[in-house]
Structure 1
Amino acid sequence: MITGLVPCKGLDAILVIVDRFSKAIIPIACKTTLSSEGWAKILRDEVYAKYGMLVTVISDRGSQFVSKFLQDLYKMLDIKGNASTAYHPQTDGQTECANQEIEKYLRIFINVRQTDWPEWLPLAAFQHNNRIHSATGKSPFFVNFGRNPRIAPDTHTHATLRTPASEEFKTMMKTIHDETKAALTKAAEQMKTQYDKKKKAAITYQPGDKVWLDTTNLHLARPKKKLDDKRVGPFTILEKHGLSAYKLKLPLTWKIYPVFNETLLNPYIAPTFSNQQRDPPPPPNIINDEPKYEVEAIINHKTRKVRGQKDKETGKYTTNTVTDYLVKWKGYGKEEHKWTKESELDHAKEAIADYLKTIQGTVTVQAVVVKTNNLDPPTFILNSRTKDGDIQFQVQQGTDFVTTAWYFEHEIPHLSELIKDYYWVSREEFGEEYGPMDGYAPEEEGG
């Protein structure tokens, strides 16, 4: 899926379907929030209704493509569903190449404001499907239908055209065809050149081998990606998947698919000298007959809402705010860092206190708005950001900087007046170009 596009008529993404046999493409304008049901409707209307029933579907590991609903649907229709390995779009390399071609095509023809990209998708598909593919020696149109479609003729017809507009439209179509053919040919050559430069000889690993894992696509608990480690591990190879992917033994706290392409792995070379080796981790302490691992440091924290007890009079459940800490365990590597409930860290109060001291005064406040009354603790709106296309607000209740949480606007309707005041405080603080009337844009999550 191609994302990050300027929204047009409620659409902000392109879903590209590639026929592995003919190499034909079907680009569909859609939303980034496409659901499993929406994907099933696209398969019905754009593939089955025009080309017949599918045999295999290869996709990324997006939730809309691997949901229980789709698994059951594929099974019922006798379709084999395969998901690509983690963080390696080349597993579905044909779609990745098609995505790049479409992006290059759109860069050439869309308007300056980039708001008409859906209108160019049919022509982008036509130009791709009418070009000879290097793998088949034929165009996708010819493979599917046994012939190539007619295009704008190279020479003028002998018939007199009745209107100048007809001649102008014909000339425009011919120009678009010629420019696109040249652009796509050049794009294919550039992609091949770049791939050949980066491709390295494959290394064959055996079960039990140790490897480093590239962190390019991993979301580790570090403040900034720029200064994060380039690789983590070493991890043990469990087994080989397919031709070029391996399953790794990852920590249980890493809730990600453990299969990675070989391009993300590097062989682990054992240290030459004894002083280069990491000491074995210490055994846990036994406190109240329970094993407790020693906390070396607290790295980060977050708060979340949990359901409390049920009120006997109203029948409603109360809502409590709890704090989780990201813990660095003594003697263990960063791959073992774990989010742990505060209630499970009674033996680490000193480490928590040290952490809280380090973050005092380090919270960046873009604009602060306060609401108080005689019943509730002071309420602050500290900051805002965009997530999944919607705006979230950082809300704090109380006077410490620990019990904060992010909420979408629809989750805090009782703070609507406070949100309005927040925008105008931001406007006064950062200049007249900001503010709800002028398109104030909150910071991106993680920015």
Structure 2
Amino acid sequence: MAYIFYDRIVRTHGLPKEILTDRGTTFASKFWQALMAHMGLNHRLTTAFRPSVDGQTERMNQVLEQYLRCYINYEQDNWVEKLPCAQLAYNTAYNESTRLTPSDANFGFTPDAYHDAREPKTINPAAIITSDKLRDLHEQMKTELEFVQKRMQRYYDPKRLKGPTFSEGDMVYLATKNISTDRPSYKLDYKYIGPYKVKKKISENNYELDLPPKVRLHPIFHIALLESAANTIHVKNDNEPEEIEGPEIYEAEAIRDTRRENGRREYLVKWKNYPENENTWEPPKHLTNAQRLLRNFHQQRQKTEDQK
């Protein structure tokens, strides 16, 4: 742990004057206490069974926990490779308390997540898709983080009343913030599904729900995504979609045009078995199964440019 502390903390940020940790066996050991003394650090331990003593860290941990849980539900099994984007989104997000981003507070500047694209010398559809996918992923992360932070304020703002708590057997509604349903439009979809029974209280802010088999989600949710069915009236009591799964996949037949919308590349797609008046502008991430069409489109476009 000493070498990890030096590698992860000291090497990047320098030696702190004080650190605050829980009372884990490593941090409470005589070796660690002696090490901190020899390094000239003031080491504080949180009070046993009261991690809220370190309120700022506790709040940040709750935000990050919910942030990643929401995103895991959205991306399912590929969350490990998305962690760098999650870290970048968090470190470049504006903080209301410090009026700075974490990166600015730590290093004195906020790094760029991406730059305006320029036309490459050679067209490579895979490179375009990858670049735009990373850009879109960063924007998704920023949006998700803002949502989580606003929801968490309801339960940590000292000026507000204590947030709700649930017991086993209580019925609750689940927010559909990051849930894909079989409905075509998220804006018109139900904002809550359920109600579902609380199966178990996992921690102070996390609950396991008794979900039916057709709801293929990780069953543990943060309290910020739950609303009491006893105190909340939604449009319908049976507002659960037939299946909670991914959207229908359409087959692209041709690429008609390309443009940049708000700095992002989009393609005008002709869909198979659909008329031309139903062509739609789509980002590259929606065309991962149409790389041949993209390659042909760019090659033809390059030939046209060369002939001018």
TM superposition score normalised by structure 1? 0.33
Q: Which has the larger radius of gyration?
A: 1
Task: Give the structure with the higher percent helix.
Answer: 2
TM superposition score normalised by structure 2? 0.47
